[in-house]
Amino acid sequence: MSKYIVTVFDDEKTAYEGAHALLQLDREGGIAVYEGAVLAKDDSGKVRVLDALEEGPFGTLGGMLLGSLIGILGGPVGMMAGAAAGSLSGMLVDLNIAGVNDEFLDDIAKELSPGKCAVVAEVEEGWTQPLDTRMEALGGTVHRAWRADIEHAQIERDIEATDREIEELEQEWKQASDDAKAKLEAKVDAAKSKLKGLQDRANKKWESLKQEAEAKIKKLDEQIAKANEDYKKKLEKTRAELKADYEQRAAKLKQAGKLAAEALS
């Protein structure tokens, strides 16, 4: 399971130094950086993305959920900034989608006051000390949280619940009077429309999971090739767990999509 790293700095200069230090650790094979961005909070409290594209220190892998976290950190303004940053677009500002808890966000909100900047990244790390040492040397305060992607489970539950709703409405329709059938038909149509939306959402989530898993496995392979023996073993285990987790979640989403298709046929 990957982590979100949010390191808060006093100014833009040290934030960029922190971003380069983070990527230097990645180049050395000490950690694996999946995606990152540099943020700034202005005097009015608005958060904007200073850098998340290829021309700056961070590349972007696309399909990741970092944009959701950025949106939450910045509220509505942060969400707009994320949407302007290429692959960060289209992210919904929701704790479940971002995969973090409110305690983690509260800690960052207290630290990221107006005028300060932050380096936000999704990473794999075997040890916390290498990153902490370099960030603290630059005056940065590091916050960590495990990322828990549970959106797929919510989609599965919603599809199952809506499928049951349609079954119950159709059974009720069979026993209803002629006057009541028209209203029940309208309810069935509304439930099927909802189910179609959930089916589309399941398909999109499956595609994003696939894209994310492929990008992360590629990144881990790069890090495994240059890691020392101890860290190499940890990365190989992480790679195997990531692959197994993806296959399990993808299978459940496919099954949920099949259930939706059968109900709509």
b/e map of 247-265 (b: 16 or more CB within 10 Å)? Answer: eebbebbeebbebbeebee
Q: 180 or 67: whose pLDDT is higher?
A: 180
pTM, to two decimals? 0.78
> What does the pLDDT look like over 193-212, one tens digit per residue?
999 999 999 998 898 889 88
Widest CA span in the chain: 76
Task: Look at residue 185 in the predicted model and tell me its pLDDT.
Answer: 93
Q: What is the pLDDT of residue 54?
A: 42
pLDDT of 81: 41
- As given in the structure block, the two tokens for residue 64 are 């990741």
Alpha-helix residue ranges (DSSP H) falling in 66-112? 66-83, 95-98, 102-111
Q: Report which secondary-structure segment, H or E, holds 143.
A: strand 141-146
C-alpha distance from residue 226 to each of 125, 220, 243 (Å)? 14, 10, 20
Rounded Cα distance between 144 and 94, Å, is: 18
CA dist., res. 18 & res. 143, Å (int): 14
| Comparison of pLDDT for 137 and 104, the residue scoring more | 137
- Among 76, 4, 74, 87, smallest CA distance to 40 is for 74
Dump pLDDT digits (tens) for 70-110. Answer: 767 765 434 434 444 443 333 333 555 566 777 787 788 88
User: Exposed, middle or buried, 108 (CB in 10 Å: 0-12/13-18/19+)?
Assistant: buried
How confident is the model over 105-126, as pLDDT tens digits?
Answer: 778 888 888 899 999 998 999 8
